């Protein structure tokens, strides 16, 4: 379903991102098509930090239909390539958080495109610690059984 066929029934009245989609709140757009909007985060953790959102309200990736998730990640790739070309950072993080435990603060599916610099002090990285291979194999089987 493309946004050309959407009306406000596919958006949430109180969601800040839905308000941005409807034009009620301004944003600094970096990409916009019928289905997806990307804009600079007004609370950036790095220069060029952008948010990519579907023009359809679902609170997170667990609720979002695969069609919309795919459109958002395809657009995140376009935005990441544009940020790379514009700012030439040392790297990029693509972050998508779901739920309070993952520090999701706006409950509308969104992807962060975050330019990174060596030793920038951001704490999204973690040390590599080998896992228990037997436990990993068993867990993989359990998760695989629940893939729909």
Give the C-alpha separation, 48 to 113, whole Å. 8
Nearest to 67 by CA among 51, 55, 81, 50: 55
The sign one gets for the Cα dihedral 66, 70, 76, 77 is: positive
* 146 token code pair: 């629940």
Listed in sequence order, the residues at least 6 apart from 90 whose beta carbon sits closer than 8 Å to its beta carbon are 116, 117, 118
10 is catalytic: no
Catalytic residue among 49, 57, 110, 112: 110
Using DSSP bridges, classify how beta strands 36-40 and 91-95 pair: parallel, antiparallel or unpaired. Answer: unpaired
Indicate which residues carry an active-site annotation.
110
């Amino acid at each position: 379903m493309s946004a050309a066929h959407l009306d406000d029934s596919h958006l949430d009245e109180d969601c800040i991102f839905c308000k941005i989609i409807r034009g009620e709140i301004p944003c600094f757009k970096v990409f916009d098509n019928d289905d997806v909007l990307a804009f600079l985060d007004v609370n950036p953790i790095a220069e060029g930090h952008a948010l990519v959102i579907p023009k359809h309200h679902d609170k997170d990736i667990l609720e979002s239909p695969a069609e919309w998730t795919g459109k958002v990640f395809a657009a995140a790739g376009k935005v990441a390539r544009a940020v790379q070309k514009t700012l030439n950072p040392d790297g990029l993080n693509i972050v998508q958080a779901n739920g309070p435990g993952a520090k999701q603060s706006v409950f509308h599916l969104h992807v962060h495109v975050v330019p990174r610099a060596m030793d920038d002090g951001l704490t999204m990285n973690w040390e590599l610690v080998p896992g228990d291979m037997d436990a990993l194999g068993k867990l993989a089987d359990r998760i695989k059984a629940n893939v729909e």
